[in-house]
Amino acid sequence: MASLLQKINTLISANIHGLVDQALEANSVKVMDEYIRQAERNLDALEDAAATVGGTVKTLKRKYEEFAAAAEKLDRDIDTLLLRGKADLATAAQAELNQKQQLAQEYYEQWQGQETEYRRMLDAKLKLEAKLTTIKQEREHLKALMELVEAKELTTRTIKSLDDLAGVGDEDVQRLGEQIRARLDREEARLEMASSTVKEQIDEAIGTTEIEMQLEERRQRLGLSSEGGSE
């Protein structure tokens, strides 16, 4: 999973200006086609992985809610048992409550951890999709520019980057080059503004105490003697 996200982040951080310059230098959009193939391939893999993690998130959330609900019911039952003087049953119930609380906490932490991972994957997916859309658009614009240069018999000039277009005398070629530059700057700025990750938020583990200490606290709250018997 980590290696997949690393590949995705590498694709996201690719310099669009650099890709355009490489294409101009080679007088071919093949370098952009290769980026598109890699991005689409990794997007498919990311979507499959995100679906799996998303399913796990739902399962862990459901498990947490089940154990949390069971623990809440047991908590009320213990008070009832103590009020009726059934200390032995209350002791057993308190032990079961501790176990369910621990399991609920474990499921909660796993749920939050997977939820964070899931959000990271969705965030990466949106960013790569945006980058891919930009690359595809600029591929078409660049292809049109190359065809225009060739049509105007400027292929004898060595155009290595968008910066070199500034010195080309033909107004149509220069204007198209500047339009590409402006779009690239705007898209890169927009991508930089996107949020990078979803901050992980996991509550601290619920501390547990000894069973008798917990029962004593309940007795004090309920106004019972510490020497409760069972019927």
Mind listing the pLDDT tens digit for each residue in 94-133?
A: 999 999 999 999 999 999 999 999 999 999 999 999 999 9
DSSP-assigned letters across all residues of 31-96: HHHHHHHHHHHHHHHHHHHHHHHHHHHHHHHHHHHHHHHHHHHHHHHHHHHHHTT-HHHHHHHHHH
Give the model's confidence band at 160: pLDDT under 50 very low, under 70 low, under 90 confident, else very high. Answer: low
Q: What is the pLDDT of residue 216?
A: 80
- Helix intervals (H) in 84-170: 87-151, 162-165
Q: CB within 8 A of 17, min separation 6: which ones?
A: 162, 181, 184, 188
Candidate from 7-11, 46-50, 174-178, 190-194 with smallest mean pLDDT: 190-194
In this structure, what DSSP letter does residue 152 have?
T
* Overall pTM > 0.75: no
Express as a percent the part of the chain with pLDDT over 70: 70
Nearest to 95 by CA among 208, 211, 229: 211
Is residue 77 within 8 A of residue 96, CB to CB? The reply is no
Domain boundaries, the chain: 2-194
Q: CB within 8 A of 160, min separation 6: which ones?
A: 21, 24, 25
Q: Terminus-to-terminus CA distance in the chain, angstroms?
A: 57
Q: What is the pLDDT of residue 197?
A: 38
Cα gap 78→94, rounded to integer Å: 7
Give the model's confidence band at 166: pLDDT under 50 very low, under 70 low, under 90 confident, else very high. Answer: low
CA 45 to chain centre: 14
CA 155 to chain centre: 46
Mind listing the pLDDT tens digit for each residue in 169-228?
A: 556 556 666 766 666 666 656 555 543 433 333 333 333 345 777 788 888 888 887 655
Q: What is the pLDDT of residue 19?
A: 86
pLDDT surpassing 80 at residue 14: yes
